[in-house]
Structure 1
Amino acid sequence: MTGGPAVPTDVFTVGLVVNPVAGVGGPAGLKGSDGAEVQREALARGSSPRAGDRAAQAVRSLLARRPGTRILTVAGPMGEDSARAAGAVPELLPLVPGSPSSSGDTTAAVRAMAEADLLLFAGGDGTARDVLDGSPSCPVLGVPAGVKVYSGCFALSPATAGVMAAEFDGDGGDGEGITEAEVVDLDEEAYRQGRVSPRLYGVLRVPAARRRLSGRKVGSSSAAPGSAEAIAREVVTQMRSGVRYILGPGATTMAVGRRLGLTTTLLGVDVVQDGELVAADVAEQELLALVDGREAYAVVSVIGGQGFVFGRGNQQISPAVLKEIMTSGGLVVLATQQKLAGLGGRPLLADTGDPEVDTLVGGHVRVITGYRESAMYRICSAIEEFSA
């Protein structure tokens, strides 16, 4: 509805903006979701939008802890559908978004949220840029739902975003106040061609609950020379005949391919077996077929500064794929000692979108840090660690 009776000034109001197509390109191996052509291709490859469901998780978590919250949002998939799925009765802004919605619709919605005490937005780095362009009048908090989630304005998980919103008191919640978080993004076309060039676009005000924010991704350029090659040497030494190895995105996993004498993709997911490239830059459905009924291992690296091993940039290794892998093989986790030290003792994180699978891949795992070097480290669900 629009209009309606005046709202008491002490009612907590949360604005909700959802980018309905955020993340749709991830499982399809498209390394982003920007552009109508990319979105059509992702759907043709069997991907499904997930931003709406993840926004609903955040609202459900919020209402469980702060049931009187007023939800102000946009009609249809830009927020209304998620709010209603979470059991809320939202108030709708007098906006008519396009079908599909555009970045301009997101910006217009942000500008119309003057009544909100806190703005929740679901998407990735591109959505964060659109929110920034809207010059929000209140603090904001990102619900991670995109392929690229490198900006520092996102909560660790959708449920964590809901908890943070419920605890927000105008001063930030958790007694930590409000801080500024950087908004960064990549040129997706260059990204698809293997050129990673993050650019800082500005800052947004966010609740300053530091351990519940994902933080900005930190690159690996500061790693000691040769550390990726040393890790790759150890991985290749451990590879066994007849076993399929899924190489996730990243410079460290690409070094594994290089050690094998193969040309693999920097930002895609490749499959190798017995020193040969079985398939390059695969989407989720192709990957699922390649590991079905076979012994297979996922070789994944840690995102510097954030600690994620699943759910950020490697959505091709989906919950369905992980279920297959964990019954027949397992995980091979790679990180330089610098990356682990940069986490300050915080655990590695999984946010696949399926809590059961996050638990399945959780526990202590041996992280390869160099040739004949490793460290035991814990992987846990982002929800489990920081939402309670």
Structure 2
Amino acid sequence: MSKPSFRLGIIVNPFAGIGGALALKGSDGAQIREKALAMGAEKKANEKMAKALSILDALSGQVTVLTASGDMGETVCASLGIPCEVIYHAPEVQTEGEDSENAAHAMVEAGVDLLLFAGGDGTARNICRVVGEAIPVLGVPAGCKIHSGVYCVSPAAAGQVVSQMIAGELVSVMDAEVRDIDEDAFRGGKVIAKHYGEMRVPAELTYVQAVKMGGKEDEALVLDDISAYVSEIMEDEPDTLFVMGSGSTVGSVMEYLGLDNTLLGVDVIKNGELVANDVTASELIELTRDKPSKVVLTVIGGQGHILGRGNQQLSPAFIRQLGKENMIVVATKQKVQALDGKPLRLDSGDPQLDEELAGAFTIITGYKDKVLYNAL
């Protein structure tokens, strides 16, 4: 019997994303991790990797899986019944960035055909520091900050790319940027993103996200038009809670209203006044339960995500409580056109909810100016 020809490396940062739902603006550093865990944060990186690896059941016998010990990969493989070889053993249960780097070094030494890793931009930095362009990599989005272009648009999409690679359908690769922001500055209201290098990723653009577009759009008048229209909607619905999601376009609405805005956080307003700022996922559910509520979202430039990127406070439970009819999406036409026909992306963390929300969304693109756009 011939041996499997495809060697898949798997690394999980088990603490990736634990600060997201708690509005901690990241998960980097032992203090943030300890604070998040003390607040009841759930480690979901392995759950997201499991969604990506679910495709391997149909590919049994075609792939050899190499991974790291415990929650860095071994655990999720065992939960799915995937045979694996542990080639890196973390010395402590509490893993650090250096463990990701050491595991990546082991993967390079083993000559894996693809390194699949779950984490955020901090994890991508760790992997890039060791791997560079030595082997192809692919990220499963599990962190609070996903600015890097090495990540797929969702865990399931990552699984699809892996499946196509194992089947030999994807042979070309592209260079993708690894970017990260200064979390301390981020918590202070500033986005300072840096370029940390490039890694090679499978060139399937339907599933691999683009690097986030940073900076202010040069469309001030259009943003004013959008803001004026949203303001009228609010005036027409007194006593309704408006949950303001993250993003520069939503920030422009808040600026138009003369209200303080939490950069890439979630604020709540009612009757033109700020009710709560920088809320957590649990706080948001309690605040809006049994009250008329709507959420204002924007499209992440270059990617198309409206859920799952920088707004994890908008949990599946909150979105279900709210309903699709109460989701207001705002974006300039320039931002929509930049998607080049790619659909809006839903990555709420609940695949069933994403499926229920899929379909046409109305996007406010100006004053009483709307377009219909498909979401998947």
Determine if the TM-score, normalized by the shorter chain, exceeds 0.5.
Answer: yes
Specify whether residues 207 and 13 from structure 1 end up closer, same or farther in structure 2 by C-alpha distance, changes over 3 A only: same
Does the aligned pair in 1 maintain the 2:4–2:61 contact within 8 Å?
A: no
Q: Is residue 7–residue 64 contact of structure 2 (8 Å, CA) maintained in 1?
A: yes
Matched, 1:89 2:83: yes
1:252 aligns with 2:249: yes
Q: Could you say which residue in structure 2 is the equivalent of 1:4?
A: none
Distance 2:3 2:179 in 1: 35
Match of 2:98 among 100, 104, 126: 104
Q: Is the 8 A contact 2:88 2:102 kept in 1?
A: no
The answer as to whether partners of 2:170 and 2:202 remain within 8 angstroms in 1 is no
Note closer, same or farther for the CA distance 1:74–1:224 as it changes in structure 2 (3 Å cut): same
SS state of the match for residue 206, structure 1?
A: strand
Q: 1:149 is matched with which residue?
A: 146
8 Å contact from structure 1 (residues 46, 285) kept in 2: no
Aligned pair 1:122/2:118, yes or no? yes
2:128 partner SS: helix
Shift of 1:257: 2.0
Does 2:228 align with 1:233?
yes
Q: Is the 8 A contact 1:181 1:204 kept in 2?
A: yes
Contact 1:140 1:206 in 2 (8 A): yes
Q: Is the 8 A contact 1:125 1:146 kept in 2?
A: yes
1:360 alignment partner, one of 349, 353, 356: 356
**Range that drifts further, 215-224 or 148-157:** 215-224
Write out aligned runs for 1:236-315 (5 A).
236-239=231-234, 240-315=237-312
**1:379 partner amino acid:** A
Q: Deviations over 1:68-91 (max 9, x none)?
A: 321111110111111112221211
Q: 1:130 to 1:294 in 2, by over 3 A?
A: same
Residue from 53, 69, 85 that aligns with 1:75: 69
State the partner residue of 2:199. 204
Deviation of residue 147 (structure 1)? 0.8
Deviations 1:217-245 (A, max 9, x none): 11353432232222111101111111111
- Tell me which residue corresponds to 1:344: 340
Deviations for 1:134-172, whole angstroms, at most 9, x for unmatched residues? 1263211001111111111111111211121122159xx
| Contact 2:12–2:72 (CA under 8 A) maintained in structure 1 | yes
| Distance in 1 separating the partners of 2:170 and 2:309 | 29
1:30 and 2:24 are equivalent in the alignment: yes
Is the contact made by 2:289 and 2:321 (CA closer than 8 Å) also made in structure 1? yes
Which piece of structure 1 moves more, 44-53 or 215-224? 215-224
**d(CA) in 1 for partners of 2:293, 2:355:** 19
Q: How far apart are residue 45 of structure 1 and its match? A: 3.0
CA distances 1:105-153 after superposition (whole Å, capped 9, x unpaired): 0000000013211100000111100000112632110011111111111
Match of 1:21 in 2: 15
Q: Is the CA contact 2:4–2:62 (under 8 Å) kept in the aligned structure 1? A: no
1:295-317, CA deviations, whole angstroms, 9 ceiling, x for partnerless residues? Answer: 21110111000000001110000
Deviation of 1:43 (Å): 2.3
Distance 1:61 1:291 in 2: 37
CA distance 1:151–1:266, shift in 2 (3 Å)? same
- 2:50 is paired with a residue whose SS is helix
SS of corresponding position for 2:200: strand
**8 Å Cα contact 2:52/2:157 also seen in 1:** yes
Query: What amino acid is the match of 2:248?
Result: A
Q: In the alignment, residue 36 of structure 1 is paired with which amino acid?
A: A
C-alpha distance in 2 between matches for 1:233 and 1:176: 48
Distance 1:132 1:226, change over 3 A: same
2:322 maps to a residue whose letter is: I
Provide structure 2 residue ranges, at least 5 long, that are not aligned to the other structure: none
**Aligned with 2:6 (options 12, 17, 34):** 12
Q: Secondary structure at the match of 1:364?
A: strand
- Say what the alpha-carbon RMSD is for the aligned residues: 1.9
- Percent identical residues: 40
SS of the counterpart of 1:26? coil
Residues 239-278 of structure 1, C-alpha deviations (whole Å, 9 max, x = no match):
1111111001122212222222221212210011111111
Task: Write the distance in 1 (CA, Å) between the matches of 2:351 and 2:166.
Answer: 28
- Aligned residue among 167, 180, 191 for 2:186: 191
Aligned pair partner of 1:369 in 342, 365, 370: 365
Q: Counterpart amino acid of 1:337?
A: K
Distance in 2 (CA, whole Å) between partners of 1:360 and 1:242 is: 28
Given that 1:25 and 1:31 are in contact with CA atoms closer than 8 Å, whether structure 2 keeps it comes out as: yes
Question: Which structure 1 segments of 5+ residues have no match?
Answer: 1-6, 381-388
1:156 alignment partner, SS class: coil
